Structure 1
């Protein structure tokens, strides 16, 4: 087990993954483990510090999550965040009670001393609160080092034991100087060095892939998106001609997606791509299915069947490679802690028992922004790695209800118009993801002198850095107006266009 400078214990907060990403941005490698991780396994990672993340429960509630108490005896610096702070205070004899007024949103953090953890940050900085409980009595040995208007114990510390805690969430975007606070803990208190980067990650993964694969072949699932393209490039570096890249046309692709992917791999990666047209197979299985989770699972299972059939045409294939990301894993299943399942991802959860492939998932511990950096490190062109994310289930989860050829045709036309307008105005490069959803909600309209009763299209454009959180993009009204006008005028079957102004959370980026 390799050394991990910072170990983050997961208590179920949807924000926990952001702690890891913020620290990695500062060059400090860290791993997230369940709150229940055995102390022996934590020791094997040889950490220099431990962070206790947030969580949805109350520390005083029956069945609440508590780590092995031996973590407090390791002599390592510890940082508690929100739920983690309350755990620390309770463990050392303080009390935590329900707050008279729950605190969600921005607050001003003030502090009265130049404490090391506040190095190079501003007194009165904006932080993000999200808690319904509060510290009532401070544990012996701790002192208040920061406060806000509604949180007298916004930050506490026990200098002798090198234990620190915040009631707020420094990892979220709204905590303006939160990254500096995490950096101060890791670098100045835990004495971690900035050695984590995509160059070292690439070299390490290439060696791991070589050892894992040996002289066998790897079937690589290719979509043409950033993730699978980076996986293919990484495998090409590691195993060369033992890579068998397969692109499956599932009938759920965007306009001319197949042709674009084939051209991109040939001209920019120099890899011979095998294309399988399985559109009829996918669409027949989706007929009559309206439940989003069922659609995702059917698509995922059918992908596996198609890849298995293709693999039998080649000798020596024992591995299946996928572009699974950290965020995919977290949103699908609680493999690293008690986080709630948000939605299933088609490429997460292992393979069915009847398959004999071993999975190769070189990206499943890194975030989207890190994948893009890795792509640049591997020499991929910027226009390839800057493509917006496209979900594995494709347009199947951008049509509300049953998926059929006619709706796919309508959606493709609307979607390509929206993308054309974003590209022509420069807003494609300025945003994280943009797409159109066919709502299958009909409304009355008027075109010329005629009454219409047609479908509604929803345009979704968001800004994000890793996909864990996102805000709707503030696109100029004239651009949105052009998108709406063109879709309604050029796409038969749509007479209304709406713009999604929800953020993640509480919404997800995709609609299904």
Structure 2
């Protein structure tokens, strides 16, 4: 097992960001709910307490037994984590006179302390809290302050336990990464040897031991996660991995053939299944977005199950589950009430009695791409924009028909190809076209038309949790609109979506 940092999640919106910043230092870390943390083992080099939307003054505030951690391993409490430790150790936490939210500057700094080494006076830090530490016990030393927060950072005397009132994990904290490096590397002593190459070597060895000579089946989607998972398992067991790529009739134009060709060039054992008609039949007459998703999920499972049974003695189902999915399922708030069924077909039906293998379940999305590059997977797959599991079905508002799919595929093809041609594709996190149920009056030649309105959508984002609409050049949008209206029969109006998330979502359904 690699050495690691444990992050105790008290419900902060920034907890995953802490983990990502630690991973960027090439140090492995794991997130656990504060109330379900494994015992400390020799490979745990330190612990970070996250922030929280709760207040330590609440009667039912989340808490932990500090005796398990303090003095046994280095500890860093962030915001709520710092307040929790201060209060439990005999200090006093009170409501802030004003809510401290946003940028602040360090006005006092003990940068002789190892946590604050190389930080500078006046450095900007990001505050986000409604409480403040008013009084500290005698065994705590204040090591940093801002103009409005006296206890911006503290240390327990005679042990490597620290609390900070600000958030070093957000980019607004100018020297936050330096502080985290000081804690993880200099205080906890982590070696910074957790790399893509190390992950691949360890994972392939683990897969070989776990799977042996068993056969594994995997549903490929053409996306990053399933592709990287497939290559890792292929390196471990070769031809005993059977990949199934289903054409649901809702992919982008020519995507089935192009992706299938890419996989075969990668040496994978892939079978393409044309199931378009089954999906179109299941979708006939359905307009409700969630019902469309359920119909697509049901048919996918039926097709996948049918194809899986054609392979003798399959023991395992491989899935491209990544770490945020795992975190969500065991979060402080519990599993989400409604699974995002438009992302992936969730779950294995009971009648498929297969064991599950998930080689990417410890990785974030950006780490999956890094591993993919180390595996020399084609950039056309690794750089592919996220694409919803139900495909174009949720970009066709209302009932899905083959005719509507054909129109949208043509529109989408023009939009995406022009983005690639003008070198805009890699600047955008996700882009696509939406076929609306609206018809509008137009003029083509000497004739009036009454045809479809399509919307173009492009957003910038880091992880899809929030997104801003992309400021694509006017000239580009004008050229794309002109080409769509001239070449796609049935479309006479193009609009561009300038909504951000929140309050809008990236997809329209």
- Normalising by structure 1, we get a TM-score of 0.88
Report the CA distance between 1:108 and its aligned residue: 3.3
Q: Distance in 2 between matches of 1:506 and 1:129?
A: 24
1:179 is the counterpart of 2:174:
no
Q: 1:478 to 1:204 in 2, by over 3 A?
A: same
1:337 corresponding residue in structure 2? 332
Please say if residues 324 and 348 of structure 1, whose CA atoms lie closer than 8 Å, have aligned partners that are also in contact: no
Q: 1:287 to 1:79 in 2, by over 3 A?
A: farther
2:61 corresponding residue in structure 1? 64
User: What is the DSSP-based 3-state SS (H/G/I as helix, E as strand, rest coil) of the residue aligned with 1:147?
Assistant: strand
Q: 1:344 to 1:366 in 2, by over 3 A?
A: same
Q: Distance in 1 between matches of 2:454 and 2:59?
A: 47
The gaps in structure 2 that reach 5 residues or longer are none
Q: 1:244 to 1:63 in 2, by over 3 A?
A: same
User: What is the DSSP-based 3-state SS (H/G/I as helix, E as strand, rest coil) of the residue aligned with 2:190?
Assistant: coil
2:132 corresponding residue in structure 1? 134
1:372 corresponding residue in structure 2? 369
Please say if residues 3 and 45 of structure 1, whose CA atoms lie closer than 8 Å, have aligned partners that are also in contact: no
Report the CA distance between 1:140 and its aligned residue: 4.2
Q: 1:89 to 1:289 in 2, by over 3 A?
A: farther
> What are the equivalent positions in structure 2 for 1:115-154 lying under 5 Å apart?
115-154=113-152
Report the CA distance between 1:239 and its aligned residue: 0.5
Report the CA distance between 1:81 and its aligned residue: 1.6
Please say if residues 9 and 35 of structure 1, whose CA atoms lie closer than 8 Å, have aligned partners that are also in contact: yes
Q: 1:103 to 1:255 in 2, by over 3 A?
A: farther
Please say if residues 433 and 454 of structure 2, whose CA atoms lie closer than 8 Å, have aligned partners that are also in contact: no
1:162 is the counterpart of 2:160:
yes
2:352 corresponding residue in structure 1? 355
User: What is the DSSP-based 3-state SS (H/G/I as helix, E as strand, rest coil) of the residue aligned with 2:210?
Assistant: helix
Q: Distance in 2 between matches of 1:269 and 1:305?
A: 27
C-alpha root-mean-square deviation of aligned residues, in Å? 2.9
2:43 corresponding residue in structure 1? 46
1:253 corresponding residue in structure 2? 251
Aligned match of 1:396 in 393, 396, 400?
393
Q: 1:495 to 1:243 in 2, by over 3 A?
A: same
Q: Distance in 1 between matches of 2:318 and 2:20?
A: 24
Q: 1:488 to 1:117 in 2, by over 3 A?
A: farther
User: What is the DSSP-based 3-state SS (H/G/I as helix, E as strand, rest coil) of the residue aligned with 2:493?
Assistant: strand
Report the CA distance between 1:45 and its aligned residue: 6.0
Q: 1:329 to 1:405 in 2, by over 3 A?
A: farther
Q: 1:256 to 1:453 in 2, by over 3 A?
A: closer
Q: 1:445 to 1:316 in 2, by over 3 A?
A: same
1:5 is the counterpart of 2:15:
no
Please say if residues 92 and 136 of structure 2, whose CA atoms lie closer than 8 Å, have aligned partners that are also in contact: yes
Report the CA distance between 1:14 and its aligned residue: 3.0
Report the CA distance between 1:87 and its aligned residue: 1.8
2:418 corresponding residue in structure 1? 421
Q: Distance in 2 between matches of 1:191 and 1:134?
A: 30
Q: Distance in 1 between matches of 2:277 and 2:45?
A: 54
Q: Distance in 2 between matches of 1:140 and 1:174?
A: 32
Query: Which is worse superposed, 394-403 or 199-208?
Result: 394-403
Please say if residues 296 and 344 of structure 1, whose CA atoms lie closer than 8 Å, have aligned partners that are also in contact: no
Q: 1:361 to 1:291 in 2, by over 3 A?
A: farther
1:14 corresponding residue in structure 2? 13
1:386 corresponding residue in structure 2? 383
1:282 corresponding residue in structure 2? 279
> What are the equivalent positions in structure 2 for 1:158-237 lying under 5 Å apart?
158-237=156-235
1:97 is the counterpart of 2:94:
yes
- Equivalent residue pairs, number: 503
Please say if residues 153 and 167 of structure 1, whose CA atoms lie closer than 8 Å, have aligned partners that are also in contact: yes
User: What is the DSSP-based 3-state SS (H/G/I as helix, E as strand, rest coil) of the residue aligned with 1:42?
Assistant: coil
1:499 corresponding residue in structure 2? 497
User: What is the DSSP-based 3-state SS (H/G/I as helix, E as strand, rest coil) of the residue aligned with 2:40?
Assistant: helix
Please say if residues 71 and 160 of structure 2, whose CA atoms lie closer than 8 Å, have aligned partners that are also in contact: no
1:41-73 CA distance string (max 9 Å, x none):
231363111001122222222433222333344
- Normalising by structure 2, we get a TM-score of 0.89
Q: 1:162 to 1:363 in 2, by over 3 A?
A: same
1:77 corresponding residue in structure 2? 74
Q: 1:274 to 1:170 in 2, by over 3 A?
A: same
Q: 1:306 to 1:493 in 2, by over 3 A?
A: same
The gaps in structure 1 that reach 5 residues or longer are none
Aligned match of 1:326 in 320, 323, 332?
323
Q: Distance in 1 between matches of 2:237 and 2:300?
A: 24
Q: 1:340 to 1:352 in 2, by over 3 A?
A: closer
User: What is the DSSP-based 3-state SS (H/G/I as helix, E as strand, rest coil) of the residue aligned with 1:124?
Assistant: coil
1:439-495 CA distance string (max 9 Å, x none):
54x48565468485743514122142x545554444333333433444455443462
Q: Distance in 2 between matches of 1:7 and 1:372?
A: 24
